Amino acid sequence: MYPSENLYSREHEWVRIEDDICVLGITEFAQHELGEVVFVELPEMGQAFDTGDEIGTIESVKAVAEVYTPLAGEIVEINEALVDDPELLNEDPHGDGWLVKMRFSSADDLKALMNAEQYEEYVKSGGE
């Protein structure tokens, strides 16, 4: 269920590294917990964030979730299709439901993340 090319945070974000760019989204577990997503707020292009900063919010009918970036860096692309069509996040959280692309500043941040196998264990143990 969790793509092996991704790395995962304890806050249920995933990142996929493509050279010096990382694609960031929230996991299958996170979208399921939230329920039907009806509103996604993403940062502006060019905005810079530190590790652990809030970069956006995702709202379902009943709940609000903040999204934190596990990597420091600068926003280089946002998923406009997702803003227009928030249910993409429920349908394909690890694919078309990605949130942003960032140029990350330090590969050190990656060390704190889990691989797919570790994340799956983490989710099985309750995910918190």
Partner 1 sequence: MNDANLLRTPLYACHQKAGARLVDFAGWEMPVQYSGVIDEHRAVRTAAGLFDVSHMGQIHVRGPQAEAYLQWLTPNDLGKLAEGRAHYSAFLTERGTYVDDLLVYRLGPAEFLIVVNASNADKDFAWAQARTAGFDVEIDNVSHRYALLALQGPRAIEILAPLTTTDLSAIKYYGFAHGQVDGARAILSRTGYTGEDGFELYVDPEEAPRLWDRLLEVGAPHGLIPAGLGARDTLRLEAAMALYGHEIDDQTTPLEANLMWAVKLDKGDFVGRDALVSAREGGIARRLVGFEVVGKGIARQGHAIVSGDDTVGVVTSGTYSPTFEKALGMAYVPLGSVEPGSPLELDIRGKRVAAVVVPLPFYRRPR
Q: Report residue 45 as tokens.
A: 């292009």
**CA torsion 12→123→81→60, rounded to 10°?**
-90
CB of 38 to partner 1, least distance (A): 4
Q: Report residue 104 as tokens.
A: 């990350």
Site for partner 1 in 4-63 (CB under 8 A): 35-36, 38-39, 41, 57, 59-62
CB of 66 to partner 1, least distance (A): 9
81 binds partner 1 (CB under 8 A): no
Chain CA centroid to CA 42, Å:
11
Interface residue list for partner 1 (CB under 8 A)? 35-36, 38-39, 41, 57, 59-62, 64
